[in-house]
């Protein structure tokens, strides 16, 4: 493709699915509570996995501790 042809191309923008942020909050007794944990480094919501919490934006990870009895 020549440079002149690239100038005339129409750039298509990819539209991402909208994030349903309302699912991250809960209302109890006139107070708004977070359902998910927030990242201490960047402030975005963290994903909850089986053994850890992880931030997809900055890569911060917190491992869940499990107390095993004798």
Which tokens hold the place of 43?
Answer: 């402030």
- 55: annotated binding-site residue? yes
What phi and psi values does residue 21 have, to the nearest 5 degrees?
A: -65, -25
- 58: annotated binding-site residue? yes
Q: Which of 48, 51, 58 is nearest to 24 (CA)?
A: 48
Cβ-contact 25, 19 below 8 angstroms: no
> Which residues belong to the annotated binding site?
39, 42, 55, 58
Annotated binding site for Zn(2+): 39, 42, 55, 58
């Amino acid at each position: 493709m020549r440079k002149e042809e690239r100038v005339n191309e129409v750039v298509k923008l990819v539209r991402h699915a909208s994030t349903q942020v309302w699912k991250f909050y809960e209302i109890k007794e006139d107070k708004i509570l977070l359902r998910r944990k927030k990242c201490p480094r960047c402030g975005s919501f963290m994903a909850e996995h089986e053994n850890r919490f992880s931030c997809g934006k900055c890569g911060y990870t917190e491992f869940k501790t499990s107390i095993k009895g004798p």
